[in-house]
């Protein structure tokens, strides 16, 4: 439903801009910054009219080789790390077995890059249609670990069992994206655009998880160990729908 509304809004916007384009055929090319050597910093516009990243990238820039030809690149670098500590108290009936500390941690990182060649159909006037094509690549990594204890009961006696778990995953993705859009210059250094993009990616990666359980206080407890490695791969078709953005030229 959201994509249908976005596409309808996109078609309405194109119709309005076509009208402006026809009326602006005689407008001087100095109304825009589509010329060799021009740079632009690009942002996305959200539904509440605030600026955000463009095409999912932290930063996106564009460089013009000519009034018709440009190259656009975007890069995203995300990372996070969390650590936690806790204590577990154990009771069997009215007997306390004290407390045992535990901890957990999570690390995650993502790096992605997109590069597109853009071709402008008409470099003159305030309204411009363009299309583009280019590669994309991304890498994602995550790792988590936990060290927790639980109270095991046998013959009305309590014994602490310690369990250490880890899990990790990595994923690569490489593919191609294509875009078609329209750009309108409010003034020579500022423009607003709407574009529709599609992309296809081949993804592959690996996963691994381990679990070790031991007890230092219960001699009959049999330690356990599990190790579950795995791999993933497949194709993904992505449609970002219609996005709106703002460009600042210099």
pLDDT in the model for residue 53: 57
Beta bridge partners of 202: 174, 235
The residues, any chain, with a CB within 8 Å of residue 173's CB and separated by 6 or more, are 136, 137, 138, 139, 140, 201, 202, 203, 236
- Can you point out the beta strands (E) in 6-126? 39-45, 51-52, 59-64, 69-92, 95-120
Per-residue pLDDT of the chain (250 residues; tens, 9 = 90+): 545 555 555 555 555 555 555 444 444 446 788 999 999 998 887 665 555 555 555 678 999 999 999 999 988 888 999 999 988 888 776 777 777 888 999 999 999 999 999 999 988 867 899 999 999 999 999 999 999 988 877 777 788 888 999 999 999 999 999 999 999 998 889 999 999 999 999 999 999 999 999 887 777 777 888 999 999 999 999 887 788 888 999 9
The whole-angstrom separation of Cα 129 and Cα 17 is 9
3-state secondary structure of 93: coil
The whole-angstrom separation of Cα 182 and Cα 127 is 7
Number of Cβ within 10 Å of residue 220's Cβ equals 7
- Structural domain of 181: 2-249
CB 237 within 8 A of CB 200: yes
Which DSSP state fits 22?
H
pLDDT in the model for residue 207: 95
CB 135 within 8 A of CB 173: no
Number of structural domains (the chain) is 1
Token pair recorded at residue 173: 């993705």
pLDDT in the model for residue 27: 46
CB 147 within 8 A of CB 166: no
């Amino acid at each position: 439903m959201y994509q249908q509304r976005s596409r309808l809004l996109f078609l309405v916007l194109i119709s309005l801009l076509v009208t402006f384009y026809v009326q602006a055929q005689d407008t001087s090319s100095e109304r825009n910054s589509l010329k060799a050597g021009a740079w632009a910093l690009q942002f996305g516009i959200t539904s509440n009219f605030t600026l955000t990243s463009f095409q999912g990238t932290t930063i996106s820039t564009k460089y013009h080789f000519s009034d018709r030809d440009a190259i656009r690149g975007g890069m995203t670098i995300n990372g996070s790390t969390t650590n936690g500590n806790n204590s577990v108290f154990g009771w069997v009936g009215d007997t306390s077995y004290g407390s045992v500390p535990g901890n957990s941690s999570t690390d995650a990182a993502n790096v992605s890059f997109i590069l597109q060649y853009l071709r402008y159909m008409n470099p003159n006037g305030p309204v411009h249609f363009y299309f583009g094509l280019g590669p994309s690549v991304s890498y994602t990594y995550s790792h988590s670990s936990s060290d927790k204890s639980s109270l095991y009961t046998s013959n009305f006696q309590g014994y602490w069992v310690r369990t250490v778990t880890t899990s990790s995953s990595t994923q690569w993705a490489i593919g191609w994206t294509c875009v078609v859009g329209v750009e309108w210059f409010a003034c020579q250094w500022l423009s607003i655009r709407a574009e529709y993009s599609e992309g296809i990616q081949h993804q592959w990666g690996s996963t691994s998880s381990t679990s070790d359980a031991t007890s230092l206080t219960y001699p009959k407890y049999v330690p356990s160990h599990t190790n579950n490695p795995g791999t993933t791969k497949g194709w993904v078709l992505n449609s970002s729908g219609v996005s709106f953005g703002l460009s600042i030229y210099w």
